[in-house]
Amino acid sequence: MKKQNNKNKIIYYFVFFLVAYFLLFTATTANAQFELPSIGSIKPAIILNSDPATPLPNSTINITANLSGITGAGDSSYAWFLNGIRQTNASGVNKKTFTFRTGAIGTIYRVNVSVTIPSGENLSDAINLTVSDVDLTWAANSDAPIFYRAKLMPTQNSLVTISALPFIYRPGTKSLVSSNNLIYNWKIDGKMDSEKSGINKSSYAFRVDNFPGNAYDIRLEVKTTDGAVSLSKDTIIPVIKPQILLYFSDPKTNLPFGIALKNLTTGAVNINFIAQTYFFTAPIKNLKWLWFINNAEVDGKGNTPWLATLDLANYFSGAFSAQIKVTAQNPNNELEIAESITNLEVK
């Protein structure tokens, strides 16, 4: 009986020590896993951030000093330096942001800041920048007379192509980044077009479906694959109506001469006209043409319907006034239509 009691005691003590060891080990492990460092163990630090990340030519850039691991940072004193020159007016207590104007593309800037925090400790940081840029140009596939030298404007159903020409430098250097190695992110009216964005996608095309009077807001973000450089550029693309201008036509060359007609006083009754179209998406020969005198339809020239010789003596006698109207329409898009009206007085 005594041996049995001793055996029970041994088992009891063994289980007791086993449970105690388990509880102690669990508590120690839990403390090791979840114990967080106290605020006193975090060292004060400073980092500079620029807005925008990469400066554009002749623009404003903001450099902000961000402190961490410190309370009461509002009493810190900041000393700013631009390319080694102290910026006295930008320096002082609580002046954690430095703003300046950039120069031409390719200009290099080094911005330093030295900060004395309330404890008396001094912190510093620097940031290197090179002014970069991207040119955005766009073209519409609209039609215009051969002598037209201005920009071809888009109308409904036009195809617009935008091209980006980047001049991106590595920060703090004169080293240009190859355009093939850049990421191009395209947005149209605030919506990202992921399918047409990516590495080396420096052009963007879309079909106009807006009505005249509206516009498209195109935004391009260009950045390096490592994120060291990032800049954005915007362009607004208006949508306009196609137009027709009416001119006198040289009967020998069938070319326009003089200025566009609007109100005309003449003694002639046999007049050659030519209509010139602007910004249609179809060539002039594919348009549907109609000529009118006082809203009565008359014939243009068969194979060249944008030309008309109007013998007004067939319609009037003596002195008279008349309205000459010409219309053109794209047969593939009934909304692509324009007209020109000239008020004519014959004496």
pLDDT digits (tens, 9 = 90+) for 216-239: 999 999 999 999 999 999 999 999
pLDDT value at residue 228? 93
Q: How confident is the model at residue 54 (pLDDT cuts 50, 70, 90)?
A: very high
Residue 230, both tokens: 């990032």
192, 233: one domain: yes
SS3 call for 274: strand
190, 170: one domain: yes
Q: How confident is the model at residue 33 (pLDDT cuts 50, 70, 90)?
A: very low
Q: How confident is the model at residue 335 (pLDDT cuts 50, 70, 90)?
A: confident
Q: pLDDT tens digits, residue range 200-219? A: 999 999 999 999 999 999 99
19, 100: one domain: no
pLDDT value at residue 210? 92
Residue that wins the pLDDT comparison between 2 and 281: 281
Chosen domain end from 76, 95, 130:
130
Chosen domain end from 238, 255, 281:
238
Decide if pLDDT at 105 tops 50: yes
Q: How far apart are CA 97 and CA 62, in angstroms?
A: 7
Q: How confident is the model at residue 317 (pLDDT cuts 50, 70, 90)?
A: low
Q: Which residue has the tokens 């093939």?
A: 180
143, 165: one domain: yes
- Three state DSSP letters for 61-130: EEEEEEEECCCCHHHCEEEEEECCEECHHHCEECCCEEEEECCCCCCEEEEEEEEECCCCCEEEEEEEEE
Residue that wins the pLDDT comparison between 281 and 316: 281
Sign of CA dihedral 260, 262, 265, 269: positive
pTM of the model: 0.77
Helices (H), the chain: 2-34
Q: How confident is the model at residue 325 (pLDDT cuts 50, 70, 90)?
A: very high
> How many domains does the chain contain in total?
4
Q: How confident is the model at residue 16 (pLDDT cuts 50, 70, 90)?
A: very low
pLDDT value at residue 22? 45
110, 51: one domain: yes
70, 6: one domain: no
Decide if pLDDT at 28 tops 70: no
Instruction: Find the helix or strand (DSSP H, E) in which 304 lies.
Output: none
Residue 8 structural domain = 1-35
Q: Are 107 and 101 in contact (CB under 8 A)?
A: no
Residue 105, both tokens: 């593309």
48, 85: one domain: yes
Q: pLDDT tens digits, residue range 246-299? A: 999 988 898 998 899 888 887 767 788 999 999 999 999 999 999 998 888 988
pLDDT value at residue 75? 86
Q: pLDDT tens digits, residue range 106-148? A: 999 999 999 999 888 999 999 999 999 999 999 999 999 988 9
Decide if pLDDT at 11 tops 70: no
86, 166: one domain: no
Over range 79-88, report the average pLDDT.
Answer: 97
Q: How confident is the model at residue 41 (pLDDT cuts 50, 70, 90)?
A: low
150, 124: one domain: no
Say how many C-beta atoms besides its own lie within 10 A of residue 285's C-beta. Answer: 10
Nearest to 208 by CA among 339, 335, 340, 338: 335
Least confident of 10-19, 99-108, 307-316, 323-332: 10-19
306, 269: one domain: yes
pLDDT value at residue 119? 87
Q: How confident is the model at residue 26 (pLDDT cuts 50, 70, 90)?
A: very low
Q: What are phi and psi of 132, to 5 degrees?
A: -125, 175
Residue that wins the pLDDT comparison between 188 and 4: 188
Residue that wins the pLDDT comparison between 7 and 70: 70
Percentage of the chain surpassing pLDDT 70? 86
Q: Assign residue 293 the CATH number of its domain.
A: 2.60.40.10
Chosen domain end from 211, 238, 265:
238
Q: How confident is the model at residue 40 (pLDDT cuts 50, 70, 90)?
A: low
126, 138: one domain: no
Nearest to 216 by CA among 318, 138, 283: 138
Say how many C-beta atoms besides its own lie within 10 A of residue 221's C-beta. Answer: 16
101, 52: one domain: yes
Over range 46-65, report the average pLDDT.
Answer: 96
